């Protein structure tokens, strides 16, 4: 659960982004943030906020997406295992990232999807062949069931040595 002051801060941020003042954000509102324009994944991140097929996101949806990035408190780690998994668990954080790769939502990152993301993240000095072989190598390292695509479980395994909890958490309060 998010604290009261955090909610207030996020709400003031939400309203300052909402230039149309109609209580929802559209894609243009996000695109107005200058730093997102030079972020290679900018468009995909923006899309992640909008539920399937919709063009507006309300505050609840805004908060729900951002809740994935809340740091994991120590006292939450040993909470009851029977309740629903919190949005900011390691698994859910990774699933959020996975969904940014997996555009067609088939729970697999295919070679093409990987290539698309790679192309967005590297400069113009890499040829298509080089990129292709990098993609092949990536899939080869991760693929365990031989389907030439990365499933979510394989994705999790690749990143098992990485401190995802720390990497995918933002400090809401400065």
Partner 1 sequence: LDYQHVQVPFEITLWIMLASLAKIGFHLYNRLPSVVPESCLLIFVGLIMGGIIYGLNDRSPPVMDSDIFFLYLLPPIVLDAGYFMPSRPFFENIGTILLYAVVGTVWNVFGIGFSLYGICQVRAFHLQDVSLLHNLLFGSLIAAVDPVAVLAVFEEIHVNEKLHILVFGESLLNDAVTVVLYKLFRSFCEMPTIKSVDVFAGVGKFFVVGLGGVLVGLSFGFTAAFTTRFTKDIRVIEPLFVFLYSYLSYLTAEMFHLSGIVAIIACAMGMKRYVEANISLKSHTTVKYFMKMWSSVSDTLIFIFLGVSTIGENHEWNWPYICFTLIFCLVWRALGVLVLTFFVNRFHVNTITSKDQFIIAYGGLRGAICFSLVFLLPDFHRKKLFIAATTVVILFTVFVQGMTIRPLVDLLAVKRKRESAPTVGEQIHIRFLDHLLAGIEDISGHWGQYYWKDKLEYFNSKYLQKILLREYDQPKSSIVLLYEKLERKHAIELAQAGQLGHGPAHPSLLNNDRTVITDQKLEDTQNPDVLDNMQEILARNLYRIRRTGPAYNRHTLPGESEPAEHAKELLILRHKGL
Please list, in sequence order, all residues whose beta carbon lies within 8 angstroms of the beta carbon of residue 56, skipping any fewer than 6 positions away. Answer: 24, 25, 26, 50
Residue number with CB closer to partner 1 (13 or 77): 13
State in angstroms the smallest separation of the CB of 85 from partner 1. Answer: 20
Instruction: Retrieve residue 146's tokens.
Output: 């031989």
d(CA 89, CA 85): 7
Q: Which is nearer to partner 1, 4 or 83 (CB)?
A: 4
State in angstroms the smallest separation of the CB of 142 from partner 1. 5
Of 85, 44, 66, 39, nearest to 171 (Cα)? 66
Q: Which two tokens stand for residue 141?
A: 């390292």
Classify 108 as helix, strand or coil: strand
Nearer to partner 1, 1 or 125 (CB): 125
Shortest Cβ distance from residue 78 to partner 1 (Å)?
Answer: 22
Taking the least distance from each CB to partner 1, the nearer of 86 and 115 is 115
- Between CA 170 and CA 158 the distance in angstroms is 22
Which residues contact partner 1 (rule: CB under 8 A)?
10, 12-13, 16-17, 30-42, 45, 49, 66, 69, 97, 100-101, 117-118, 120-127, 129-130, 132-134, 136-138, 140-142, 155, 158-159, 161-162, 164, 167-168, 170-174
Please identify which residue in the block is written with the tokens 């699933």. 95
Shortest Å, Cβ 66 to partner 1: 6
């Amino acid at each position: 659960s998010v604290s009261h002051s955090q909610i207030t801060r996020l709400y003031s941020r939400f309203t300052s982004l909402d230039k149309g003042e109609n209580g929802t954000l559209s894609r243009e509102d996000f695109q107005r943030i200058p730093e997102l324009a030079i972020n290679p994944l900018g468009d995909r991140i923006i899309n992640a906020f909008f539920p399937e097929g919709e063009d507006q996101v309300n505050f609840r949806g805004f908060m729900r997406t951002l809740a994935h990035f809340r740091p994991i408190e120590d006292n939450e780690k040993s909470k009851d295992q029977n309740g629903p998994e919190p949005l900011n668990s390691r698994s859910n954080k990774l699933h959020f990232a996975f969904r940014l790769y997996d555009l067609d939502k088939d729970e697999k990152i295919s070679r093409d999807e990987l290539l698309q993301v790679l192309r967005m993240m590297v400069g113009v000095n890499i040829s298509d062949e080089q990129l292709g072989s990098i993609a092949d190598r990536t899939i080869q390292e991760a693929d365990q069931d031989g389907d030439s695509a990365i499933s979510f479980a394989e994705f999790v395994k690749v990143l098992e040595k990485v401190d995802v909890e720390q990497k995918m958490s933002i400090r809401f309060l400065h």
